[in-house]
Amino acid sequence: MGGDYWLIANQRAELKLNSNTVTMSLTNTEKTIIVSIWAKIATHVDSIGVEALERLFASYPQTKTYFPHFDLHPDSAQLRSHGSKVANAIGDAVKNIDNIEKALAKLSELHAYILRVDPVNFKLLSHSFLVTIAAHYPAEFTAEAHAAWDKFLSIVSSVLTEKYR
Amino acid sequence: MVHFTAEEKSSITSTWGKVNVEETGGEALGRLLVVYPWTQRFFDSFGNLSSASAILGNPKVKAHGKKVLTSLGDAVKNLDNLKGTFSKLSELHCDKLHVDPENFRLLGNVLIVVLAIHFGKEFTPEIQAAWQKLVAGVATALAHKYH
């Protein structure tokens, strides 16, 4: 096991040529998987976003503390609008998968200086998205797709919390 | 201590009734090893873990996954006493297996994704929430005897 580890680490180091940060980077295989699943999601982005938020609020009620100004009943206009916003931002990251930092730069500043959502919550929302995608696309959400999406959302989360301090 | 409402207990037991413990256990453990490869550190003796398909097809992974998920069945039958139910296993995971409890949380979440794949829309946000509570309770119970 030890020998294999170093071989894989060297391969990954070569893939990080253009990265200036210390985030993990996606392989070409992972990017292909992410883009292809997104193509299916893109046909109903808004409802995926809303469902992810519903799952987040149901499983992790403490996340509602960031939305005291919202009507969080299922199918509320605010929930639909926010779900759409969040899902479309993820879509932007997918469309700019080779430079997520650039695509989400403004959102990164928003989260750091205005929203200041505690970093732990990005894992919770990421998990909620994974569950939503899994429920809608069981055949496509193979173990490799699961790994690719978990990694991708982890990278998105890192970008969004990059400027926190 | 985690407390389950009657509705949550009913959600959990009715989902559990439809779970194929053998397949789901292998799937969940396999995915843990694929999605979070560092978890392979505990399974040097399992043989070929070199790719996703190798992992998911590995008979030792399947057997161990079944063992782990069967144990979760004990949790489902003892929702009011998770700490007591997992007391011995907690000692084992600390003293003999030396497993960081963070791994229990990772496995719990992977299991939830597998349930979502199997049950689709039927795995509603409310049912998921009950299961999140269960896996969190089990993770805490398994960590309870650590020292």
From the CA of B50, how many Å to the nearest CA of chain A? 9
**Rounded average pLDDT over A111-121:** 94
| Distance (Å) of CA A79 to CA A46, A125, B55 | 10, 14, 40
Q: Which of B24, B31, B35 to mutate to test the interface with A (most CBs of A within 10 A)?
A: B35
Are A54 and A79 spatial neighbours (Cβ–Cβ below 8 Å)? yes
Q: How far is A131 from chain B (nearest CA, A)?
A: 5
Res A100: pLDDT: 97
Report chain A's mean pLDDT, rounded to a whole number: 90
Q: Which of A55, A130, A142 sits opposite B125 (nearest CB)?
A: A55
Each residue of A65-114: pLDDT tens digit? 999 999 999 889 999 999 999 999 999 999 999 999 999 999 999 999 99
**Residue A57 predicted with pLDDT over 50:** yes
Phi/psi of residue A119, nearest 5 degrees: -55, -30
Select from B71, B105, B72, B79 the least CA-distant residue to B8: B79
- Report which of B76, B54, B56, B53 is spatially closest to residue B64, judged by C-alpha positions: B56
Among residues A147, A161, A135, A158, which one has the least CA distance to residue A31?
A147
Using a CB-CB cut-off of 8 Å, the residues of chain B touching A55 are 125, 128-129
ipTM here: 0.91
Residue B46 DSSP label = G
Q: What is the pLDDT of residues B55-65, one digit of tens each?
A: 999 999 999 99
Q: How buried is B42 (Cβ within 10 angstroms: 0-12 exposed, 13-18 middle, 19+ buried)?
A: middle
B15: nearest Cα among B138, B130, B146, B141: B130
